[in-house]
Chain A
Amino acid sequence: MPVVLTMMKLAPALATGNTLVLKPSPFAPAALTLALQKIAAQLPPGVLNVVHGEGDAGAALCSHPLVRMAGFTGGTATAQKVIEATSGTIKNVTLELGGNDPAIVLDDADSDATLERMPEGVDTRTGQICFAVKRIYVPRGLYARFADAFCGRVGEYAAGHGLDPQASFGPPCARTRS
Chain B
Amino acid sequence: MANNVVLSWKGPPITTQTVPQVGHLIGGEAPVANPRDVHDPGRPDEVAAQVAVGTAEDVGRALYAAPAAFPGWRGTPAAGRVRKLLAAADVLAGRGEELAPLLVRGHGGVLWEAQAGFALGTGVLQHTSSLVEDFLRPAGSDESRASSAPRRFPGVLPRPSCRGTCRSS
Which of B41-49, B137-145, B150-158 is near enough to bind chain A?
A: B41-49
Selected from A14, A35, A60, A67, the residue in CB contact (under 8 A) with B118 is: A35
What residues on A are CB-neighbors of B76 within 8 Å? 17
Q: How far is the CA of A19 from the CA of B158 in the complex (A)?
A: 20
Restricting to B121-140, which residues have a CB under 8 Å from any CB of A?
A: 121-122, 124-125, 127-129, 131-132, 135-136
B51 touches A30 (CB 8 A): yes
Number of cross-chain contacts by CB at 8 Å: 321
Selected from B8, B65, B106, B109, the residue in CB contact (under 8 A) with A30 is: B106
What residues on B are CB-neighbors of A77 within 8 Å? none
What residues on B are CB-neighbors of A13 within 8 Å? 164-165
Which of A99-107, A111-119, A148-156 is near enough to bind chain B?
A: A148-156
What residues on A are CB-neighbors of B118 within 8 Å? 3, 35
Report the count of interface residues on A (CB-CB < 8 A): 89
Residue in B closest to A39 when the chains form the complex, CB atoms: B88
B92 touches A20 (CB 8 A): no
Query: Is the C-beta of A68 less than 8 angstroms from some C-beta in chain B?
Result: yes
**Contact A163 to B129, CB < 8 A, known contacts A51-B54, A69-B165:** no
Interface of A is mostly: mixed
Residue in B closest to A166 when the chains form the complex, CB atoms: B7
Selected from A11, A28, A45, A128, the residue in CB contact (under 8 A) with B28 is: A45
Query: Is the C-beta of A139 less than 8 angstroms from some C-beta in chain B?
Result: no
Q: Chain B CB within 10 Å — which of A10, A71, A157 has the most?
A: A10
A57 touches B58 (CB 8 A): yes
Q: How far is the CA of A154 from the CA of B1 in the complex (A)?
A: 9
Q: Chain B CB within 10 Å — which of A15, A41, A69, A156 has the most?
A: A15
Selected from B87, B100, B165, the residue in CB contact (under 8 A) with A18 is: B165
B108 touches A172 (CB 8 A): yes
Q: How far is the CA of A98 from the CA of B51 in the complex (A)?
A: 26
Q: How far is the CA of A175 from the CA of B87 in the complex (A)?
A: 37
What residues on A are CB-neighbors of B28 within 8 Å? 40, 45-46
What residues on A are CB-neighbors of B163 within 8 Å? 18, 68-69, 92
Residue in A closest to B132 when the chains form the complex, CB atoms: A15
A151 to chain B, nearest CB (A): 5
What residues on A are CB-neighbors of B113 within 8 Å? 124-125, 162, 170
Q: How far is the CA of A108 from the CA of B19 in the complex (A)?
A: 53
A162 touches B102 (CB 8 A): no
**Contact A66 to B84, CB < 8 A, known contacts A18-B70, A18-B74, A158-B5:** no
Selected from A57, A67, A148, A167, the residue in CB contact (under 8 A) with B7 is: A167
- The proximity string for B residues 28-48 relative to A, scoring 1 for CB distances below 8 Å and 0 otherwise, is 111000000010111100001
Listed from nearest, the 6 A-B pairs whose CB atoms lie closest are: A45-B28, A155-B2, A46-B69, A160-B7, A18-B164, A30-B49
| Given A52-B52, A157-B4, A161-B9, 4 new contacts (CB under 8 A) | A47-B73, A125-B109, A161-B43, A162-B105
Task: List 6 contacting pairs A-B, 8 Å CB cutoff, sorted by A.
Answer: A7-B122, A17-B164, A30-B49, A44-B72, A64-B59, A69-B163
A residues adjacent to B (C-beta < 8 A): 1-4, 6-8, 10-21, 23, 27-54, 56-57, 60-61, 64, 66-71, 92, 124-126, 128, 148, 151-152, 154-175
